[in-house]
């Protein structure tokens, strides 16, 4: 495996979305959710750990009363392509019964994580479940095609990090979203 630079910016090949662009878009989504859920019992359910940053900013961009919680899921390990299996590692603790749930995800890739979490949350009998993702990857042959109500940005099928998104748990603290240099995860041409 390549090495992670002390200055994380050096490992970024291209910045796709700046901090300013992200916060503007999150503000717009927050305003839409505030309109759509006025007078409802809104609960945001973020998927750990990638959606933490998005959830924190989105919650503060929403003006109507709401609560939030997190669920745990992991599908990637330390590779840059989906393992195909989704493990649920933590359930919600706030009550979802008769509430209007919006699942908050960092990135919609194969769709397996969102589909698995949506199925898990149905067991708690919310009145409605919808989904929000900051990033929507344009991939061919998606495992689960889902109707996602709120989408931040579309992007090509490239491996990105920052604003919560990681490679091997690093880069989540970057304020922008960028394409990770393949040098970091390739060793002699082999993708780990």
Does 176 contact ligand IMP by CB under 6 A?
A: no
> Considering the complex, what minimum distance in angstroms separates the CB of residue 39 from ligand IMP?
31
DSSP letter assigned to residue 37: T
Site for Mg ion in 69-108 (CB under 5 A): 76
Does 165 contact ligand IMP by CB under 6 A?
A: yes
User: Which one of ligand IMP, Mg ion, none interacts with residue 130, CB within 5 to 8 A by kind?
Assistant: none
Does 159 contact ligand IMP by CB under 6 A?
A: yes
Q: Evaluate the CA torsion angle 163, 151, 37, 143 in order and state its sign.
A: negative
DSSP string, 104-143: EEEEESSSHHHHHHHHHHHTT--SEEEEEEEEEEE-SS-S
Residue of 11, 57, 106, 109 marked active site: 109
> Which helix (H) or strand (E) segment is 190 a member of?
strand 190-191
d(CA 184, CA 13): 11
Report the chain's terminal Cα–Cα distance, integer Å: 7
**Residue of 30, 46, 50, 178 that binds ligand IMP (CB under 6 A):** 50
- Say whether 94 sits in a helix, a strand or coil: coil
Active site residue 9: no
**Residue of 21, 59, 67, 82 that binds ligand IMP (CB under 6 A):** 82
Does 118 contact ligand IMP by CB under 6 A?
A: no
Q: Note the residues at the interface with Mg ion (CB under 5 A).
A: 50, 76
- Residues tagged active-site: 109
Q: Note the residues at the interface with ligand IMP (CB under 6 A).
A: 47, 50, 75-76, 82, 105-113, 159-161, 165
């Amino acid at each position: 495996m390549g090495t992670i630079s002390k200055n994380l910016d050096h490992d970024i090949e291209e910045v796709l979305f700046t901090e300013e662009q992200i916060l503007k878009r999150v503000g717009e989504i927050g305003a839409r959710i505030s309109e759509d859920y006025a007078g409802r019992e809104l609960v945001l359910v973020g998927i750990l750990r990638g959606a933490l940053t998005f959830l924190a900013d989105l919650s503060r961009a929403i003006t109507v009363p709401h609560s939030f919680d997190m669920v745990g899921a992991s599908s990637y390990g330390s590779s840059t392509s989906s393992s195909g299996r989704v493990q649920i590692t933590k359930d919600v603790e706030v009550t979802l019964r008769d509430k209007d749930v919006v699942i908050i995800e960092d990135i919609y890739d194969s769709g397996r994580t969102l589909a698995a979490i949506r199925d898990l949350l149905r067991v708690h009998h919310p009145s409605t479940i919808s989904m929000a993702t900051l990033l929507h990857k344009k991939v061919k042959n998606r495992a689960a095609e889902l109707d996602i109500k709120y989408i931040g940005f579309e992007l090509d099928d490239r491996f990105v990090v920052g604003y919560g998104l990681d490679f091997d748990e690093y880069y989540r603290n970057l304020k922008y979203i960028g394409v990770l240099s393949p040098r970091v995860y390739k060793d002699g041409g082999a993708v780990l």
